[in-house]
């Protein structure tokens, strides 16, 4: 297997990793990261948790020469593509950065894969490709229509389309790609050891790391927007724990051993929680008072 990140390699239960390795002909070999929103300390902790050496390569997926060299060096048979900028709000203010990094970077990666004859990939997509869906369509199914409401969602949609068209082109040449499109909802949580979790650089763009930073005193308050047509007027999201997310990737890799073509699977729990519901559940369990927040 090729490109992956700490969520997959360390949040996956050890027994499942061993079982998967027995089924695959090669083990995880290379981790590529430009460290734009990560640190090598997290990789050290991955090694500590898993007891395995992480072959880390600092670099960017937009670097064609780097990717060509990696595919020539390592016997990669499956790519797990997590690389990408992922903040909806930031994508609105910096759209060109998102198209350059996410779309251009993915295109460069896919070219390197095709040139190396590696045509199996698990892609970290997003439920944002569904755009705005009517309430009666919840929970969203993979057959729902796709659209986008922001540049981030549009980049994910474009990357999915690239993989669809690349597979179609391969079929016309008597070949095929094996593609898993994993459409995440909202990953949250941390490794049970507490050694690694979501600790972004700068101001968090997601609810959970913002809550934890306010609770830890790193930030003075949590800003809550109340403008939604919900019971408490705060946004409702479907949250999935990162351990379950990692298990979903294992299942996708196993499935790609059996099937060809492009397949989309949602990764969520099918039930939504509002911001206030999340605050109540988190701090009731911890027997603490919810953090200060502004409306």
How far apart CA 143 and CA 234 sit, in angstroms, is 27
How far apart CA 243 and CA 240 sit, in angstroms, is 8
For 176, the token pair is 């095929």
Helix (H, G, I), strand (E, B) or coil at 143: coil
Give the up-direction half-sphere exposure of residue 239: CA atoms within 13 A in the CB hemisphere: 15
| Cα 162 from chain centroid (whole Å) | 18
Question: Catalytic one among 152, 184, 273, 276?
Answer: 152
Residue pair 276/236 in contact (Cβ under 8 Å)? The answer is no
First vs last C-alpha separation in the chain: 46
Residue pair 204/210 in contact (Cβ under 8 Å)? The answer is yes
Distances (CA, A) of 202 to 30, 83, 205: 27, 19, 9
23 upstream amide cis, omega within 30 of 0: no
How far apart CA 177 and CA 262 sit, in angstroms, is 7
Q: How many other CB atoms are there within 10 angstroms of residue 85's CB atom?
A: 19
State the angle between helix axes of 64-73 and 105-116 in degrees (0 to 180), rounded to the nearest 10.
Answer: 30
- Specify the pairing of strand 261-267 against strand 178-184: parallel
Query: Within the chain, what is the greatest distance between any pair of CA atoms?
Result: 62
In 3D, which of 128, 246, 130, 121 has the Cα closest to residue 180? Answer: 121
Q: Is 210 a catalytic residue?
A: no
For 17, the token pair is 């990793």
By annotation, the residues acting in catalysis are 152
């Amino acid at each position: 297997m090729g490109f992956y990140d700490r969520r997959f390699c360390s949040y996956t239960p050890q027994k499942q990793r061993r079982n998967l390795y027995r089924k695959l002909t090669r083990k995880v070999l290379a981790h590529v990261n430009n460290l734009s929103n990560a640190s090598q300390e997290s990789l050290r902790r991955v090694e500590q948790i898993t007891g395995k050496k992480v072959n880390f390569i600092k670099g960017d997926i937009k670097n064609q020469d780097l990717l060509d060299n990696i595919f020539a060096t390592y016997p990669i048979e499956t790519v797990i593509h997590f690389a990408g900028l992922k903040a909806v709000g930031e994508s609105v203010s910096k759209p060109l950065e998102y198209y350059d990094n996410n779309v251009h970077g993915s295109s460069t990666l896919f070219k390197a894969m095709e040139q190396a004859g590696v045509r199996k990939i698990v892609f970290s997509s997003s439920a944002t490709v569904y755009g705005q869906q009517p309430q009666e369509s919840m929970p969203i199914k993979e057959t729902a229509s796709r659209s986008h409401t922001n540049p981030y969602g549009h980049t994910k949609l474009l990357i999915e389309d690239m993989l669809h068209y690349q597979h179609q082109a391969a079929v016309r040449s008597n070949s095929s790609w094996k593609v898993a499109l994993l459409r995440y909802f909202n990953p949250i949580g941390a490794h049970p050891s507490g050694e690694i979790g979501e600790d972004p650089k700068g101001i968090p763009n997601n609810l959970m790391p913002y809550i934890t930073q306010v609770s830890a005193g790193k930030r003075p308050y949590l800003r809550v927007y109340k403008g939604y047509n919900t019971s408490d007027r705060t946004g409702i999201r479907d949250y999935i724990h990162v351990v379950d997310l990692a298990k979903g990737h294992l299942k996708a890799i196993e499935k790609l051993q059996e099937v060809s073509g492009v397949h989309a699977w949602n990764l969520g729990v099918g039930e939504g929680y509002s911001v206030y519901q999340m605050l109540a559940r988190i701090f009731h369990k911890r027997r603490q008072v919810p953090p200060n927040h502004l409306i």
